[in-house]
Amino acid sequence: MKTDLLAGGWLAGARRVASPNFDVRPEGERPSLVVVHAISLPPDRFGGPGVEQLFTNTLDPGEHPYYAAICHLRVSAHFFIRRDGELVQFVSADERAWHAGVSCWEGRERCNDFSIGIELEGCDTLPFEPAQYHRLAELLEILRSHYPIGAVVGHSDIAPGRKTDPGPCFDWAGLELPVPVARR
């Protein structure tokens, strides 16, 4: 897939599903960190519309018991990589997506201010697909060419004790990254 960032931080070739859950970054702030997440809705199930619905505030609490507990959340990520490698973009990379929550990296709190969030369709108990690693590596190379990305970390690295994703099944060593993986 030929992809490149367009004006405004939107990626050509990614399916665009605009989320209302974002705001502006602090003045002069450019993304310097990438945070890798994992998500599946319902938990441990793949392929459905749950993630897109969550990120667009359209999750039906009656559709699954788990949804009733999370439908009030106002969250998003910049990118979502499905199991088959499909790339979906919810927020411009120039804007602040609401993906990290309470977080800290190298003494800096509020990681949403200076990071790009990439969600992988997955969970803590199953391996990720080769297509996802390929798409992630491709996306990281594009992001690095447009932003001063200094590190790629897991959500668990910026919110230890609160988050576990991308989880023990994510193969950091097998991911060929254009920037260092900063592990705690």
Q: Active-site residues: which are they?
A: 119
Q: Among 94, 138, 90, which residue's Cα sits nearest to residue 113?
A: 94
Task: Encode 123-138 in three state secondary structure.
Answer: CCCCCCCHHHHHHHHH
| Terminal C-alpha separation, the chain | 33
Six-digit token pair at 129?
A: 């697909």
Task: Classify the phi-psi angles of 84: left when phi > 0, otherwise alpha if psi is within -120 to 50, otherwise beta.
Answer: alpha
* Amino acid of residue 154: G
Q: Among 71, 14, 11, which residue's Cα sits nearest to residue 41?
A: 71
